[in-house]
Structure 1
Amino acid sequence: MSTLSEDQGNRSVTAPDGRRLEFRLTGPPGGLPVVFHHGAPSAAVPFGPLERAAADRGLQVLTVSRPGYGASDPLPEQTAPGTVAGAVADTRCVLDELGAEEFLALGWSSGGPRALACGALLPGRCRAVASLAGYAPPRAEGLDPVAGMDEDSAAEFTAARQGRRALEAYLAEQVQAMTAAASAPDGDVVELLRAMLPPVDRAVMTGDFADYVMGAAEHSLRQGIVGWRDDDLAVDRAWGFAVEEIAVPTRIWHGREDRAVPVTHGEWLAAHVPGARAHLLEREGHLSLVARLDRVLDDLLDAAEVDEDGR
């Protein structure tokens, strides 16, 4: 039987296979949960813009750190890196422990495929899905996944496609660069990251959003790169479901200036997820969609036909 425990403000449950699953739950008691599937590298940490927007609408926000991130145990060596669909079983485990029968799924970047998985595999509980700047499936017909990507994103994607060792080497270099920037005189990792971003995303990398990005990166890497590695590898392998199987209302949000996950991924999803409604926005990038969270949640509630009482 799973058990709840506390760890630095977050809680955890023990999954049926014995792994600890760390999660964060905020918002009004009894509110319909929005399960937020984070990007990579990331974990269950405070996300002010989302948590405030959700609370204003009477919603809770539930974030589960994926295996190897934060305080969530990594997958056993014999089953790593797992599949995108594996996030559904972990999500269901936490929801069951909390007694939540229904939920909304919201995924950002590499969390997008995990949100879509909930729509495909938990149609009786997941009322609607929103994918923000999310990936299309690997080897999607007619899609060049790296066309339009910035140099760093393309290098990470290509390393994952080359296999575990190549990806481990690439991620180790990235962590080393961040560590060096943080330890240098007047070191500022935020400024290092901002310098790599297009102007539309650089503009939002400030204040509590920058705090979220940095806090998520720091917490997610407390066990090293194992979570990040398995996350990337799973996105580029068979997901464990087909997007054509999604039978719940789905919204696809993507910025046309996204250089981390190009808008062609969003276009592909919009064309292949049954009944999906697309919001492909001009002058928006990979991070700047955070400024649209109010709109995203309103659209998600509309898709799920949730009334003013959260039902």
Structure 2
Amino acid sequence: MTTKPTLVVIPDGGRSRVVAVHECGDPAGTAIIHFHGTPGSRLELDFGGGLAADAGVRLIGFDRPGYGASDPGPISVTGMARDVGAIADHLGLGRVGVSAWSGGTAFALATAVEFPDRVSGVGISGGLAPFDRMPGARDGLTPNDLEALACLPEDPARAAEIFRDGNADMLEAMLSVRDDETSPWIDWMFARSDPAVITDPTARQALAVNFREALQQGIGAIAWDNVAFVGPWGFGVEDIATPVALWYGDRDEMAPPTNGQWLADHLPDARLTVVRNEGHLLPLAHLSEMLKTLSEMV
């Protein structure tokens, strides 16, 4: 049974919204706040609660707007960074580590920019480099994606609408996870890059739990996520003084290791690890060493 989330009320533009938070691991341990992937939820790393406890880590996940049990709303890079500050304040945390998987990358790095004296270390797994800076990154975008990005920065809501409408078939297929325990789209997303992971019952169950919770409110948050991290991030990674650990699988087709190399070349303090014969689902097999590395930074 899923633990009832902690609900954090965050002021936002004269109003307030609710953010759902989940904790696992060691309650007295080193605090690490995690940005889930796209799609993803506060439960993304809950499968690793025992690993976190063994590593002396208090692992904290939260739903971005429109995912899981968080109120829907716009998603921006700097806005999500500020959510971490509000969550840390609510939980009475001082210095923290920040981690991210895949689509959470831009938000995690922005948190180090927003709170340089509070974020002691950043851990990234399978993250994309900035699309507007990495050579060749935009070559893989569809005409629909480019149409959406042309609305930025003036009209992010319109950009999210265009992205959602243009990718409706794929996004709607993801919703099958809410009703189908077998989650067939996990196979067509990851069968080539992560065959061993998706055939492991425990790992597959962890994916299904995460995705099912992520998509409780539909597909709108995925569109907002993509607009946020494919569009301009609003900061330069060269300005991040916080140490960053980068992990990539050499079989990753969603975020090839060239992204990690670009980030390692431009971040002032970064360490890149490329794991052989692993894909995008790297944390499902290597979370223990990731947590150990990141906890040592805090």
Q: Give the TM-score of the pair, scaled to structure 2.
A: 0.85
1:180-259 aligned at under 5 Å gives the runs 189-205=182-198, 206-259=200-253
Q: What is the rounded CA distance, in whole Å, between the counterparts of 2:36 and 2:7 in structure 1?
A: 17
Q: What is the rounded CA distance, in whole Å, between the counterparts of 1:238 and 1:179 in structure 2?
A: 28
Contact 1:48 1:209 in 2 (8 A): no
Match of 1:3 in 2: none
Match of 2:106 in 1: 113
Q: What is the rounded CA distance, in whole Å, between the counterparts of 2:66 and 2:177 in structure 1?
A: 24
Q: What is the rounded CA distance, in whole Å, between the counterparts of 1:108 and 1:102 in structure 2?
A: 21
Match of 1:268 in 2: 262
Give the alignment partner of residue 163 of structure 2, picking from 167, 172, 176. 167
Change (3 A) 1:266 1:181: closer
Q: What is the rounded CA distance, in whole Å, between the counterparts of 1:107 and 1:261 in structure 2?
A: 13
Letter in 2 for 1:133: G
Q: What is the rounded CA distance, in whole Å, between the counterparts of 2:27 and 2:55 in structure 1?
A: 13
Match of 2:76 in 1: 83
Q: Which runs of 5+ in 1 are unaligned?
A: 1-6, 307-311
2:287 maps to 1:293: yes
Match of 1:133 in 2: 126
Letter in 1 for 2:116: P
Letter in 1 for 2:24: T
Letter in 2 for 1:265: N
Q: What is the rounded CA distance, in whole Å, between the counterparts of 1:236 and 1:201 in structure 2?
A: 24
Contact 1:84 1:114 in 2 (8 A): yes
- SS of residue paired to 1:25: strand
Match of 1:40 in 2: 38
Q: What is the rounded CA distance, in whole Å, between the counterparts of 2:28 and 2:148 in structure 1?
A: 40
Q: Which runs of 5+ in 2 are unaligned?
A: 151-158
**CA RMSD of the aligned region, Å?**
2.6
Q: What is the rounded CA distance, in whole Å, between the counterparts of 2:216 and 2:133 in structure 1?
A: 33
- SS of residue paired to 2:11: coil
Question: How far off is 1:43 after superposition?
Answer: 1.1
Q: What is the rounded CA distance, in whole Å, between the counterparts of 1:300 and 1:72 in structure 2?
A: 26
Letter in 2 for 1:231: D
Match of 1:10 in 2: 5
Q: Give the TM-score of the pair, scaled to structure 1.
A: 0.82
Question: How far off is 1:301 after superposition?
Answer: 2.8
Q: What is the rounded CA distance, in whole Å, between the counterparts of 1:107 and 1:155 in structure 2?
A: 28
Contact 1:255 1:289 in 2 (8 A): no
Number of residue pairs aligned between Structure 1 and Structure 2 = 285
Question: How far off is 1:175 after superposition?
Answer: 4.0
Change (3 A) 1:155 1:294: farther
Question: How far off is 1:98 after superposition?
Answer: 0.6
